[in-house]
Structure 1
Amino acid sequence: MEYPVCLIENHEDGTIQVNNNALEILSRYNQKVVVVAIVGKYRTGKSYLMNKLAGQKNGFALGSTVQSMTKGIWMWCVPHPVKRDHTLVLLDTEGLGDVEKGNSQNDSWIFALAVLLSSTLVFNTMGTIDQQAMDQLHYVTELTEKIRVKSAEQASDFEDDSSEFKRFFPSFVWCVRDFNLQLQLNGKDITEDEYLKNALTLKPGLSTTIRNYNLPRECILHYFHSHKCFVFDRPASKTDLQNLDNVEESQLDPEFVKQTKKFCAHIYEQSPVKTLPGGYRMSGRGLGDVAVSYVEAIRSGSIPSMENAVLALAKIENSRAVQEALSKYDEMMNQCLNKFPTETQEEFLNLDKEFHTEALKVFMNLTFKDENQEYQSKLKEELGHKKAAYMKQNEEASVRKCRALLQELSAAMEKGISEGKFAVSGGYKLFSEEKESLQTDYRKATGKGVKSLEVLQEFLEEKKNVESSILMADKSLQEKEKKLAEQRSQAEAAAREQEILEKANMDLKKNLENEQESSKMHVEMMQKKMDEDREKIKAENEWLIKEKLKEQQDMLDAGFKKQSQMLEDEIKQLREEKSQPQSLIGEILQLIPPIVKAVLSRDQKDQCI
């Protein structure tokens, strides 16, 4: 992208919608995305920081007046400077508290969407981290009213599931602009992070004033993780600030430039890939899909549910996974059409096995939350249909090849028939010799494919009446010899039919074995993915337990025993979830029937044969 585009449009009537052009751009990005969103009061220099992250002087509108320049949420996708094969998605939000807008609810939704879509949220304020700055974070305290973890069907209207926010929410970076104080506390030098930690310290007490003081701080501590702080000196004089996008870096305050580089380095190195619970790392197109899901929920008047968004994304991504896996199978099989017909059925089945395996790998790399293996079963069924279609193409190629060969080999015999060459005494013997020679040459020929016996049988059946006429007209043969010749011809035809039947049974057996191997491969890959997903969930729970333990210690240090006990209950529940035995074998056995049902059905038919 050469320049930013609007991702979330904010209309004057207070409605929001996703820009289709931005969705089309995101759909091109199959790479994993690191999503950095910046929020804060309007005219505080948010766009400047985002342009620096993009490695550009211009891009996001800076503006030079008290009027907010950014409306809605603007997006800029750039190659990640540090993480190879990743895309850095920058989201610049319109300024909060714009007096011209007159719609605080709209601000709340913009803030909520920035939280939901990002993997790192940058909160940008001016001056110092004081109570006025904290008051700007009332949007954080409103998140429980704007966002739900569980769907409406799973949670009651009064249930507070904010304890799960940390699973979904981004890391938190506070940028303090035009900072002119000394980083000291009680006469000692402190770091920027210690400055933030001190600002987030809770006060003991139960009064309304203290609760109001603590609420935004508790929300930051409990909802977000990896709290980080940067303070910036004033970048330039007031005159230069009004034209900052045209000011050279050498004209800016050296400390400001140094801090900006330090901020960018931190974002590049520490900002994580946008990841959903369960360890699913999102691509650009997935980000667009969840943006649509959240915005549509807001437009409908309901509260966006993060689980609903994940499930909606899972349906879209799993459908894509099926289609991309099928496309991979088609791509590989189409590259082999010039090899059709294969000499044997086994050769075709080997191709199918190889391509089926590759298709399944594609699916497993893309799928997530495939409940009850619905999409994997669909993939197996569709691959079965494609296999049958390509098998038919292989057979048709064989039929064409064999008929062309027989037409070539029988040209002299056909000419002899039309010219009456065999309508003479001894003609039957002559015809039989040419027919035998034709069959010998036909069987010696290579590349005929899987239908060679059937086409030969069909050809000889077509010549049956001609052969009978030549036999009956041959005066050199006695009636007894003619009957023996006819019996011999029938026996040869029966032998060919038996050969065809035996080959069909052998092909059926090999095809059944191929199906069974395919089903076994599906189960094995499914088990492997379930093991991997379980390990991701386990690691996520362990991380969340550590985060909750930190919160609990902060509560204990502040003397909040009630909140500490609540956290203890949450930690206990997480540990129980982590320690619950998982019966993987039972899960797999439950999933086998829909996968191998078709195989078992064919097995029964094979036994009947």
Structure 2
Amino acid sequence: MKKQDFLLQNEQASGKYCQAQLEQLSEPLMDDISRGTFSVPGGHNLYLEAVEKLEQSYNLVPRKGVKANEVLQTFLQSQAATKESILQADQALSAEEKALAAECAKNREAEKELDLRRQKEKEQQKILEAQEKTFKENLAQLKEKMEREQEIRLREQESMLDLKRKISEELLNEGFKAKNEEMQKEINQLKEEKERNNVNKASDIAQILASKDNNWHLEEPEAEAARKEPARAADNLSPGCNSLAT
């Protein structure tokens, strides 16, 4: 056999052997590519590490012959498109991850603000409850005072009526008919005034109490809106951070 033929056969044998060894060693890498193992943030570095381990394992294979490096370079060149695709995907995922991280940071700030608003709402609620208690106490005291004053006025008017009735009776007994008639007019006027005062004062008390009660209830929708505001703010928080955490 000629030397040239021997060298050719040696090259062919080396090529087949190296190709077979490389195909066997690269099976895990090919499986990882198919499963999308490298389609994650940082996937490009993972891919490079896997290829480096493959090269190290390949270099440890004995008796590869003259085609060892050529077969390896051919394999690496065949992976160029895959390598570039993984790099582009990694860059896109990294950009998305950065955007999500920024969104999460924004959410954390929003949650802090939300906690402060909730705390403020609790404090405002306590203040409102204290104000309501004070309001009801003051309202009860005002009602009691007005009723007491009305009762005093009614007693004074009743005393005045009794006095005028006695005077009228004395005038009638003494024969002062004209003066008695005038006194009766005064008595009737006083009765009417007493009745009007009785009705008006009851109405005044009701109006004052109703006015104060309405003023209090006008404040309640504002307090209710303040209580609902943190809930609306919580609904606006992005759920993306949960997926990032997992």
TM-score normalised to the size of structure 1? 0.17
Normalising to structure 2: TM-score of the pair?
A: 0.37
Q: Which structure exhibits the higher relative contact order, with contacts defined as CA atoms closer than 8 Å and separated by 6 or more residues?
A: 2
Which one has the bigger strand percentage?
A: 1
